[in-house]
Amino acid sequence: MSALARWCHRHRLAVLLGWVVLLIALAGALGTAGTNFGDSQMSQNTESATASTLLRHASASSSGDSGYAVFQAPHGKVTDAPVQSEMSGLLDKIAHEPGVASVTSPYTSTGAAQISSDKTIAYANVQFDRDATKAQQSEVSSLALADDGSTVHVTLGGQAFGAQVAAGGPSDAIGIVLVFVILLLVFRAVWVAVLPIITAVAGVGTGALTVMLLSHLITIPSTALTLGALIGLGVGIDYALFIVNRHRGNLMAGMSTGQSVAASLNTSGRAVVFAGLTVVAALLGMTTLNLGEVTGMAEGAAVTVVLTVLAAVTLLPALLGFIGPKVLSRAQRRRLADPADPADPADRADPADPADPADRAGHAAPERTGVWPRWAAQVQARPKAMAAAGLVVLVALAFPALSLRLGSADDGNLPASSTNRQAYDLLSEGFGPGFNGPLQIAVQVHGDGDQAAQTKLVTALEHTPGIVSVSERPVNAAQGVSEIIAMPSTSPEAAATSTLISHLRSDVIPQAEQGSTMKAYVGGTTAGNDDFASTVTGKLPLFIAVITVLGLLLLIVAFRSLLIPLLGAVLNVLSIGVAFGATVLVFQDGFGVSLLGAGSGGPVEAFVPPMIIGVVFGLSMDYLVFLVSRMREEWVHTGDNQRAVRVGHGETGRVIAVAAAIMFFVFGSFVFGGARVIAEFGVALSVGIVLDALLIRMVVVPALMHLFGRANWWLPRWLDRALPTISVEGESHSPAPAVVLPRSDRGAAEPVSDGRR
């Protein structure tokens, strides 16, 4: 790492220009190629997927997007002559728009059922010949809005007019401004506030452009851009901050800028690379779920994290070379120029900065003073009480996660200003809540006996509680394929609708199929979402096990210890529970969800938990790496566990707290964007990461490590020899002697490896 840092420092102009050229090249390629995002959430090997495939292959009609033009007569009926004339004209204009395959008007014989029983609400089906482009959506929307007035209220809804989740925007800007203010207030130097932001933006920018280009090669949903920006900004600023903070301490210790950059990358830079590796590993672990959209989101976020790490270890050293000593505050520069200057002693070295050179030579340096060192001493003095109190609070916060219900929040949870929400409400009012989520049952028959079975099925559906209407239509008579539309009495996201789907599949349909070769499959968007949620629920335990074992192995290699990785893995799972608990309280139980403009209480989006698990697990390991790597650095040089834990805790406390605050404001800024799914990510990640950093890393972990004593650093000799050597804390200026555990600690004396051979 030091060689890379020295090269980037010496060739800083070339590095800076290289990043600028990379951004321009990616932007140019994107301008030529465009994007090809895929937002399908359909699970493979499910009944809903089978139904969709059967209907799609049997149908000769257009397979493009479809939507609704919904209208309401506020002061009369939609069948009144003025309303009918106005709406017929509007629908005729829409039908002649490029890309529109057909429009089924409620004023025709085939669309008579599209008028509500009280004749105040009606809708027209709008079918596109392929997936609707933004330009086509905009043209149809403009026509509809032009006719929206006092005579008739018009709005659009359905898949074709679905709201797109935009990446970046005001949420990014708000988060970045708050981060700048925090860094400026804490470190009292403009460049300390600016450099991490520049580095993170460079990483996120190249990441976003790369992800958009990759959408042509792999299935990536459009939400991957927002998620990548959310994660990339958080980790990018944090990673750069750790390196800059170490650099400031090295400068205050008397190093030149070039020496300090090399030393900082060789210590904090190593930790950053390892931390980034853990986040990427946790994200890519989601590929084990084999869920198309989740896999695409994880891959997109992983690409962004890789590029933010690359920016931190290449672009940042170059920028530090340009800035020189200006990275220090004015008080620090005065102190450096005149050691007798009675400046603020806290400016002599930041609490998270490396120990003095004497310490690096294997001798104990004087311990720092300040808020965090004093807190570390308090934790050491009362480890049992601190650990117990912290664990009780964490378990209480995680408890609501036990009632987690996965699903897909319907359009009734969109902001009230959304046209899709308005269309949803009107259709629910006019035709019942189940109208927004009909069950599409694909049926295939092979003879007269099967025709009788299909008739039996229709009759059974009509008498099934929870179904208000049943209709059927032939899809392909030659292939014996038809479609039965069963309209539930409850909304798509309701638990009762999921229960109804299960009842149809396990009882109603099998009874109708008996004695025939007929096959019927429950499909449609509602059933597809239900299947997706069931698939995710079934695979989550495997995913948690995979990333837990992966994280355990990485930490064993990094810290040459068994107990610390086990402790980290268990507490990381608890962090995930806290994130889930907050998500359930807000979005499922509805506490404060209306204040966020994210609808009302409902199920948590099924693809959110896997992403939360991956991100929280990865970032939690980040903080553990930064905390324990400093503890291990002290342990290797002194062999004193109590001192190592206390010093590492006290010296990293401030920078970890600032990093957690950065994460909180970056993630929290996305909560108020209006998109429910992004708000779910924002709440889960901001709460989970802050509590992980401040409660687990700053209270529970050091308290338990004080209780465990020297056993923290024990590793069997045979395992130490078998493992590869990775020095997360960087190389010491002089070799440290091996430390031996007394027989009272292990039963047999055995050297504790320093991780270097």
Structure tokens at 551: 């994280």
**Digit-coded pLDDT (tens) for 597-614:** 766 777 888 888 888 888
Is the Cβ–Cβ distance between 519 and 513 less than 8 Å? yes
Q: At 368, is the pLDDT very low, low, confident or very high (cuts 50, 70, 90)?
A: low
Q: Region 380-404: what's the mean pLDDT?
A: 94
The residue with greater pLDDT, 494 or 390, is 390
Phi, psi of 70 (to 5 degrees): -105, 135
Q: Give the CA angle between residues 89, 93, 97 to the nearest 5°.
A: 170
CATH number 3.40.50.300 is the correct assignment for the domain at 431-530: no
Alpha helices in 669-730 (DSSP H): 676-691, 701-708, 717-722
Give the range with max mean pLDDT: 275-279, 321-325, 393-397, 418-422: 393-397
Phi, psi of 2 (to 5 degrees): -65, -35
Q: Region 88-113: what's the mean pLDDT?
A: 83
| Structure confidence at residue 495 (pLDDT) | 86
**Digit-coded pLDDT (tens) for 555-564:** 888 788 899 9
Query: What is the number of alpha carbons within 13 Å of residue 11 lying toward its C-beta?
Result: 11
**Digit-coded pLDDT (tens) for 325-339:** 888 888 878 887 776
**Digit-coded pLDDT (tens) for 258-268:** 888 888 888 88
Query: What are the angstrom distances between the C-alpha of 46 and each of 362, 467, 505?
Result: 61, 22, 12
Reply yes or no on whether the pLDDT at 687 is more than 70. yes
**Digit-coded pLDDT (tens) for 701-733:** 999 999 999 999 988 888 888 877 766 655 544
**What is the CATH code of the structural domain delimited by 65-161?**
3.30.70.100
Q: At 380, is the pLDDT very low, low, confident or very high (cuts 50, 70, 90)?
A: very high
DSSP 694: I
Structure tokens at 165: 């989740």
Reply yes or no on whether the pLDDT at 315 is more than 90. yes
| Structure confidence at residue 63 (pLDDT) | 57
Q: At 132, is the pLDDT very low, low, confident or very high (cuts 50, 70, 90)?
A: low
CATH number 1.20.1640.10 is the correct assignment for the domain at 540-718: yes
Three-class secondary structure assignment of 416-469? CCCHHHHHHHHHHHHHCHHHHCCEEEEEECCCHHHHHHHHHHHHHHHCCCCEEE
What does the longest C-alpha to C-alpha distance in the chain come to?
A: 102
Query: What are the angstrom distances between the C-alpha of 21 and each of 14, 26, 487, 500, 699?
Result: 10, 8, 56, 56, 45
Reply yes or no on whether the pLDDT at 750 is more than 50. no
Q: At 149, is the pLDDT very low, low, confident or very high (cuts 50, 70, 90)?
A: low
| Structure confidence at residue 605 (pLDDT) | 86
Whole-number average pLDDT of the chain = 81
The span from the CA of 560 to the CA of 556, in Å, is 5
Q: What percentage of the chain reaches a pLDDT higher than 70?
A: 87
- H/E element holding 522? strand 519-523
* Radius of gyration, alpha carbons of the chain: 30
Reply yes or no on whether the pLDDT at 350 is more than 70. no
Protein fold of 1-34+188-357: Multidrug efflux transporter AcrB transmembrane fold (1.20.1640)
**Digit-coded pLDDT (tens) for 272-307:** 888 888 888 888 877 777 776 778 888 888 999 999
The span from the CA of 209 to the CA of 207, in Å, is 5
Considering only CA atoms, which of 495, 675, 530 is closest in space to residue 599? Answer: 675
| Structure confidence at residue 745 (pLDDT) | 39
How many Å separate Cα 256 from the centre of its chain? 40
Q: Region 569-583: what's the mean pLDDT?
A: 91
Q: At 747, is the pLDDT very low, low, confident or very high (cuts 50, 70, 90)?
A: very low
Query: What are the angstrom distances between the C-alpha of 138 and each of 37, 156, 245, 312, 383?
Result: 19, 11, 49, 41, 62
Is the Cβ–Cβ distance between 565 and 555 less than 8 Å? yes
Q: Region 461-483: what's the mean pLDDT?
A: 85
Query: What residues does 385 pair with on adjacent strands?
Result: none
Structure tokens at 252: 């205050």
| Structure confidence at residue 358 (pLDDT) | 37
Q: Region 229-245: what's the mean pLDDT?
A: 85
**Digit-coded pLDDT (tens) for 730-746:** 554 433 333 444 433 33
| Structure confidence at residue 499 (pLDDT) | 92
Residues 6+ apart with CB under 8 A from 106: 78, 112, 114, 115, 122, 123, 124
The span from the CA of 699 to the CA of 179, in Å, is 24
Q: With H, G, I as helix, E, B as strand and everything else as coil, classify residue 68.
A: strand
Query: What are the angstrom distances between the C-alpha of 661 and each of 87, 369, 686?
Result: 53, 22, 9
The residue with greater pLDDT, 470 or 671, is 470
Query: What are the angstrom distances between the C-alpha of 308 and each of 201, 229, 234, 316?
Result: 8, 11, 10, 10
| Structure confidence at residue 613 (pLDDT) | 87
Is the Cβ–Cβ distance between 219 and 332 less than 8 Å? no
Count of Cβ atoms closer than 10 Å to residue 533 Cβ: 23
Q: At 26, is the pLDDT very low, low, confident or very high (cuts 50, 70, 90)?
A: very high
Is the Cβ–Cβ distance between 96 and 116 less than 8 Å? no
Asked whether this chain's domains 1-34+188-357 and 540-718 adopt the same fold, the reply is yes
Q: With H, G, I as helix, E, B as strand and everything else as coil, classify residue 122.
A: strand
Domain boundaries, the chain: 1-34+188-357, 65-161, 431-530, 540-718
Is the Cβ–Cβ distance between 645 and 653 less than 8 Å? no
| Structure confidence at residue 306 (pLDDT) | 93
Reply yes or no on whether the pLDDT at 355 is more than 60. no
The span from the CA of 208 to the CA of 228, in Å, is 7
Helix-helix angle 190-214:292-310, to 10 degrees: 140
The residue with greater pLDDT, 72 or 598, is 72
Q: Region 477-492: what's the mean pLDDT?
A: 86
The span from the CA of 90 to the CA of 111, in Å, is 16
The span from the CA of 105 to the CA of 87, in Å, is 9
Give me the torsion for CA of 157, 146, 676, 200, rounded to 10°: 130
Structure tokens at 586: 């807000």
The span from the CA of 529 to the CA of 605, in Å, is 9
Which of 102-106, 137-141, 456-460, 468-472 comes out lowest in average pLDDT? Answer: 137-141
Alpha helices in 504-562 (DSSP H): 509-513, 525-559
